Amino acid sequence: MNPPSAARALDLLIVGAGFGGLYMLHKARRMGLHALVLEASPSVGGTWYHNRYPGARVDIQSLEYSYSFDEALQQEWRWTERYAAQPELLRYANHVADRFGLRDGIRFSTRMIGAHFDEAAREWVVRSDLGEAWRARFLVMASGPLSSPNKPDFAGLRDFEGPVLHTADWPHEPVDFSGQRVAVVGTGSSAVQAIPIIARQARELTVFQRTAAYAAPARNGPLNAELEARVKADYAGFRARNRRMHGGFGSLLPPNPVPALSVSAAQRQEAFEQRWQVGGFALLGAFNDLLIDLKANETAAQFVREKIRATVTDPATAQLLSPSHTLGCKRLCVDSGYYETFNRPNVRLVDISREPIERFNRKGLRGAGRDFEFDALVLATGFDAMTGTMMRLDLRGRGGLRIQDKWHAGPLNYLGLGIAGFPNLFNIAGPGSTSAFTNVIVAIEHHVDWIAECIAHLDARGLRSIEASEQAEAGWTEHVNASARRTVFLSCNSWYLGANIPGKPRMFMPLADGFPRYADQCTQVAAKGYEGFVLQ
């Protein structure tokens, strides 16, 4: 890509208008920087624009999963439910875009297809699918950790005559399954949310399961007015307390600071039950070692399996729905009536763990050694997470280094924010940071604020580029691996490891250290003049 002379000059080019890109644009403008967002879809919202499947909702309470950067915004916005559903989250993203006048800084329906670093000018030359080009001092990838849907290459899928829907690419017009026989492939978070609702509509629902999911009840409902008033009376304090939590949320019910095996079986049961009644991720905080000690973890896993057996009336189905892997090793699902759905007479569960889907045909599929017929197919097969979106781009750093070569064995980076060989490029909520284990809006705000301070630091000193050193990057990669080894996360195949995508390098991508420690490290690096980065 030759640097086009007609390319327009920017301080920042931001890719993506989800919560990451919106806040980055606002922040850049506040600093007087000339910034532009490229967004492939026609509107803002990112995740909440694309994932419109029935039942899509946040699994962190909305009073927490929302921006904290503006006191008036957080006071005036009113969530209707404890866990907002996708339409409300999308309205929120649109409200933020309007309230802060961001739309004129976003080029919608414009996909960034490539960016090459011009070493002489120390600028990025960025191109869109519409043939436009921009020069930017800084390139900010706010393109999302879960924004490339995984669409498995099933044999014969094209032969299937009915509609094929992916949860992450759901149609914008209403989908009505009334009277239909529907098949759902996959039982991860999206499936767990969608299945109870599809089951109520469809004549017949067949769920194809490779790995059973742990799900804790959301206990969703209208937002408690008393709680809302209490939080809003000191929202800044509430946010600060959440930022001190391991996942950037949950200060309303902090983890119990006691190991699971230090108490009696009856006390454990009581602690799990209390947390189960609270709902959502509260269960994982019942003891302080559930995600670091396999024996402790097994006590919680058994508790959930007992709940499944007590809920699902057919013992064979209950057995099939009971996961055998470590609890929380794959993201814990938060559900509203998932296991109960399998008591319905119109729902059946098919195990494809031993005999996978062989091929699709005009009327359905052959799998588990049998033929199945259905009218519509829902793929709830997740994402090529954390790296998928960037690895599809023609992104080249110094010396023409391609991101595909740089990351051929896994996403090397420093602090999750910078990549050696790719100066002036910042990544928001990507691999190497705690984002996947946190309330992602907390992670996003932290990254945007850090990037903004970094740019201010460079500009105040007349410096033009910043790049992670290879040495710092190697140290950070080892740090991310070592953090994972101290947890239970390496004990199963998950998207954190890239295991859901055939051929993807196996590397534990998110940082399991906890948000407070990670944020501290980022602050220290900045305080030491961006130690580990080369500034010029």
Kindly list the strands in the beta sheet with 364-367, ordered across the sheet, starting from the edge strand earlier in the chain: 357-360, 364-367, 370-373
Provide the 8-state DSSP code for 495: G
* Among 7, 28, 33, 146, interactor with ligand FAD by CB under 6 A: 146
Give Rg (Cα) of the chain: 23
Number of residues counted as binding ligand FAD (CB under 6 A) = 36
Q: How many CA atoms lie within 13 A of 310 on its CB side?
A: 6
- Binding range to ligand FAD, per CB under 6 A, among 143-151, 314-322, 357-365, 396-404: 143-151
Binding-site string for ligand FAD from residue 163 to residue 202, where x marks contact by CB under 6 A and - marks none? ---------------------------x------------
* Among 27, 28, 35, 51, interactor with ligand FAD by CB under 6 A: 51
d(CA 344, CA 180): 16
Cβ atoms 457, 526 nearer than 8 A: yes
Give the nearest distance from C-beta 445 to ligand FAD in angstroms: 11
Residue with tokens 């414009």: 110
* Among 428, 480, 484, 512, interactor with ligand FAD by CB under 6 A: 428
Residue 507 touches ligand FAD, criterion: CB under 6 A: no
Cβ atoms 187, 209 nearer than 8 A: yes
Residue 421 touches ligand FAD, criterion: CB under 6 A: no
Q: In terms of DSSP bridges, do strands 8-15 and 35-38 run parallel, antiparallel, or are they unpaired?
A: parallel
What DSSP string describes 456-508?
HHHHHTT---EEE-HHHHHHHHHHHHHHHHTSSGGGS--GGGTTTSTT-----
Binding-site string for ligand FAD from residue 57 to residue 86, where x marks contact by CB under 6 A and - marks none? -xxx----x---------------------
Contacts of 512 (CB under 8 A, 6+ apart): 434, 437, 480, 483, 484, 486, 487, 489
Residue 328 touches ligand FAD, criterion: CB under 6 A: no
**Measuring CA to CA, which residue among 296, 8, 248, 267 is closest to residue 137?**
8
* Among 61, 66, 74, 143, interactor with ligand FAD by CB under 6 A: 143
* Among 10, 20, 339, 407, interactor with ligand FAD by CB under 6 A: 20
Residue 488 touches ligand FAD, criterion: CB under 6 A: no
Residue 250 touches ligand FAD, criterion: CB under 6 A: no
Tokens representing residue 275 in the block = 């947390």
DSSP bridge pairs for 8: 134
- Binding range to ligand FAD, per CB under 6 A, among 55-63, 230-238, 373-381, 463-471: 55-63
| Cβ closest to ligand FAD, residue 213 vs residue 271 | 213
Residue 54 touches ligand FAD, criterion: CB under 6 A: no
| Cβ closest to ligand FAD, residue 39 vs residue 88 | 39
Give the nearest distance from C-beta 47 to ligand FAD in angstroms: 4
CB atoms inside a 10 Å sphere around CB 6: 7
| Cβ closest to ligand FAD, residue 61 vs residue 487 | 61
| Contacts to ligand FAD from residues 97-116, by CB under 6 A | 111-112
Contacts of 206 (CB under 8 A, 6+ apart): 181, 182, 183, 184, 347, 348, 350, 372, 374
d(CA 290, CA 260): 7
Residue 322 touches ligand FAD, criterion: CB under 6 A: no
Residue 513 touches ligand FAD, criterion: CB under 6 A: no
Residue 149 touches ligand FAD, criterion: CB under 6 A: no
Cβ atoms 24, 33 nearer than 8 A: no
Residue 15 touches ligand FAD, criterion: CB under 6 A: yes
Binding-site string for ligand FAD from residue 436 to residue 475, where x marks contact by CB under 6 A and - marks none? ---xx---x-------------------------------
* Among 12, 39, 180, 418, interactor with ligand FAD by CB under 6 A: 39
Q: In terms of DSSP bridges, do strands 347-351 and 164-166 run parallel, antiparallel, or are they unpaired?
A: unpaired
| Cβ closest to ligand FAD, residue 93 vs residue 212 | 93
| Cβ closest to ligand FAD, residue 332 vs residue 350 | 332
Provide the 8-state DSSP code for 162: S
Residue 247 touches ligand FAD, criterion: CB under 6 A: no
Residue 142 touches ligand FAD, criterion: CB under 6 A: yes
Tokens representing residue 87 in the block = 């339409």
Give the distance from CA 396 to its chain's centroid. Answer: 25
Cβ atoms 344, 199 nearer than 8 A: yes
Which spans of this chain sit near ligand FAD (rule: CB under 6 A)? Answer: 15-21, 38-41, 46-47, 49, 51, 56, 58-60, 65, 111-112, 142-147, 190, 389, 393, 428-429, 439-440, 444
